Amino acid sequence: MTTKNLLVELFVEELPPKALKKLGDAFAGMLFDQLKAQGLTAAGAVFTSYATPRRLAVHITQVAAQGADKAVSQKLMPVSVGLDAAGNASPALLKKLQALGADASAVASLKRAPDGKAEALFYDSTVKGASLAEGLQKALLEAIAKLPIPKVMGYQLATDCELPGWSTVSFVRPAHSLVALHGTAVVPVAALGLKAGNSTQGHRFEATVSPVVLQDADSYEQQLLEQGAVIASFAARKAEIARQLAAAAARVGGGCQPIEDDALLDEVTALVERPNVLVCEFEAQFLDVPQECLILTMKANQKYFPLLDAAGKLSNKFLVVSNITPADPSLVIGGNERVVRPRLADAKFFFDQDRKKTLVSRVPQLDKVVYHNKLGSQGERVERVRAIAKAIGRQLGGEALAALADTAAMLAKADLLTDMVGEFPELQGTMGGYYALNDGLATDVAQAIEDHYKPRFAGDALPRNPVGVVVALADKLETLVGMFGIGNVPTGDKDPFALRRHALGVVRMLVEEDLALNALALIQLACSGTALWPDGWRHTVGAGAPPFVPVSEAVESFIYDRLAGSLREQGYSAQEVDAVLALKPQRLGEVPKRLAAVRAFAALPEAPALAAANKRVGNILKKAEGTVEAKVNAALLVEPAEIALTSALKTIAPHADAAWAAGDYTANLQALAGLKAPVDAFFESVMVNAEDPALKANRLGLLATLHAAMNRVADLSRLAS
């Protein structure tokens, strides 16, 4: 197969920056997959995607001008329909062959093959491979139609015909040119009202040649760089911006580093075609404003990169990524400094105004802020969080911790009423911490107000002190219980209230802080404040006919599901996780130790047999009539194997119990390894369901004793293959 490299480019108006990388990758990937599916690429073909603010492009290696012919076997009809008793073709068969471009002479070459219960006729033919023009046309239209476009816009093009008129085209942005080069040859394809050519446009202001006429498919990136002043590769442009940011920060000195924000770097990469990083500064007086406010306004509103000093404190210098490289950059620098100044002045004004009122004075106004139409106001919500926080605080640290948690919970939502949070909702909690310190409140309380939303996302830090942990737990539990109580339960990928994130936050705090709290009791505590929940809240969850599930049980299952998913992501096997969580250990801080014990047990040579035996014991006990007590009458032990098993249990149980009491779950499970031989012997020679009711009951009691001893750390039957 003779191949050449292929280049396809769509030149458009400025694309949405937050979607550019995804659009570029999708355009390139879909074009490549379509050409590959049509047999137009060689086995070793690879593609390279390009994306700039004004273009989507792909370079594909080893593309053929003509796809290879394919042998096709097509089912026609059952033999009984296509041929009569003498073997002659029926009119239906002749008509079918004619539709395929064959005649009666093809009947003799038809193949017979089983098709279900009957025999069918098959016609073998060769389908000519697609030409590149045909294949690329199909691939191009398919890729354009399936692009993950955030919002389509319609625009009009003059019709290409003798009669004047306009046609409407829909795309993410108006397209102005199309390039399709196979080697040096233009592939005659069309899309979005454009015919393919070999020329494109470079940088809007700095291109040395306009248009840029491409020599061949392989010269695209180099010609755009040299003649068009454009870095076509998204990845290369991003790397160049990162390099220039680091170099500019080094020139500033003082250990300064640009703030790390990959999402901002991606967005800026999507805004420029030829990056030029410049150093700007603002008046040092603005540094009196909390740095989170200044950083947010510079990043969100202006796409600037703030500079942090060696101690992580904001400096009064920042970096701008310009799309032009003038000989004298002073005008660009001055313009950006003038633009940022009003933004910083607004932040300072909000901060100064907010500090004129204390957080406590704002709390009554929360009664006028709607939280949810079925759950009342933010003021009512605060009272529920306070009640939960005080109860948790008493359990973890007595009245002193309860009092601090109550204060923090009362003030945690007050910053929602401040001007700063009204302008920058992302700063809720953060500003509350600053205003609490301004009001003279204890540092623990201020940090708790700031941290009570944590962890906000996967990998986020937990609250810094016990007060913050208590309030964060209370806040998340109130949200979970409240939403479940009004039927707002996540379904599929829909979770508008981020309840999965809240549940995972509860899990992380209980596990990582190893809190001495019972998970179900904690949830029931959040549900118990009946007087604090409005009429729209119910004690059960469910749709249709009863019985409904109590909210506490539904939330508990939801939290354990999140815990199971988190543990699997950490590398534990599904069997290990199922074995531990089947017992629903209520102190979640013990779960990692139990998992480690299960993993160590599973590595023992005795583990498979004991797990299988445990499963068998569980099944026998489930089928037993009535309640089976874990109790053995030594006088009713008659078989040597049951006597030996009872003796082994008496020997091993004290060691296992001591390990359990000491919290050494690994030693507890490993002690059970000594039961393998007596358990195997028991099942080989003892009939559990004896005819004598007393013997049967005693043997069931022995199995119940064994089952209880084996399943304190985890349900070992879940390890059975």
- pLDDT tens for each residue of 110-164: 888 888 778 888 888 777 778 999 999 999 999 999 999 888 888 887 665 554 5
Residues 324 and 221 in one domain: no
Confidence of residue 526 (pLDDT cuts 50, 70, 90): very high
Buried b (16+ CB within 10 A) or exposed e, 33-69: ebbbebbbbeeebebbbbbbbbbbbbbbbbbbbbbee
Over residues 293-322, the mean pLDDT reads: 95
Mean pLDDT taken over the chain = 92
Tokens matching residue 318? 């920042």
Residues 552 and 613 in one domain: no
pLDDT at 621 over 80: yes
The pLDDT score that the predictor gives to residue 70 is 77
Residues 555 and 679 in one domain: no
Domain assignment present for residue 581? The answer is no
Give the pairing type, strands 314-322 and 305-308.
Answer: antiparallel
Domain assignment present for residue 579? The answer is no
Domain boundary among 205, 226, 247: 226
Smallest Cα–Cα separation from 6: which of 119, 159, 133, 97?
A: 133
Tokens matching residue 250? 């080094």
Over residues 348-363, the mean pLDDT reads: 97
Residues 645 and 667 in one domain: yes
Residues 545 and 665 in one domain: no
Secondary structure of residue 74 in the 3-state scheme:
strand
- pLDDT tens for each residue of 471-488: 999 999 999 999 999 999
Smallest Cα–Cα separation from 233: which of 269, 181, 184?
A: 269
Instruction: Specify the number of domains making up the chain.
Output: 5
Domain boundary among 327, 354, 381: 354
Residues 52 and 196 in one domain: yes
pLDDT at 247 over 60: yes
- pLDDT tens for each residue of 642-667: 999 999 999 999 999 999 999 999 99
- pLDDT tens for each residue of 386-435: 999 999 999 999 999 999 999 999 999 999 999 999 999 999 999 999 99
Q: How far is CA 333 from CA 270, 286, 293, 297, in A?
A: 21, 18, 22, 18
Residues 251 and 211 in one domain: no
Helix (H) or strand (E) run with residue 506 in it: helix 499-512
Residues 402 and 542 in one domain: yes
Percent of the chain with pLDDT over 90: 79
Domain assignment present for residue 576? The answer is no
Residues 668 and 684 in one domain: yes
Domain assignment present for residue 577? The answer is no
Percent of the chain with pLDDT over 70: 98
Q: Residue 507 maps to which CATH number? A: 1.10.3210
Supply the range of the domain harboring residue 548: 362-571
Domain assignment present for residue 585? The answer is no
Domain assignment present for residue 53? The answer is yes
The pLDDT score that the predictor gives to residue 523 is 95
Q: How many CA atoms lie within 13 A of 259 on its CB side?
A: 23
Residues 119 and 192 in one domain: no
Residues 111 and 201 in one domain: no
Domain boundary among 110, 127, 144: 127
Smallest Cα–Cα separation from 649: which of 629, 676, 612?
A: 676
The pLDDT score that the predictor gives to residue 721 is 72
The pLDDT score that the predictor gives to residue 107 is 81
Q: Residue 694 maps to which CATH number? A: 1.10.730
Domain assignment present for residue 138? The answer is yes
CA atoms of 283 and 297, how far apart (whole Å): 15
Confidence of residue 544 (pLDDT cuts 50, 70, 90): low
pLDDT at 251 over 90: yes
Residues 492 and 552 in one domain: yes
* Long-range CB contacts for residues 392-398, cutoff 8 Å, separation at least 24: 392/470, 392/473, 392/474, 392/517, 392/522, 392/525, 393/467, 393/470, 395/516, 395/517, 396/466, 396/470, 396/515, 396/516, 396/517, 397/466
Domain assignment present for residue 262? The answer is yes
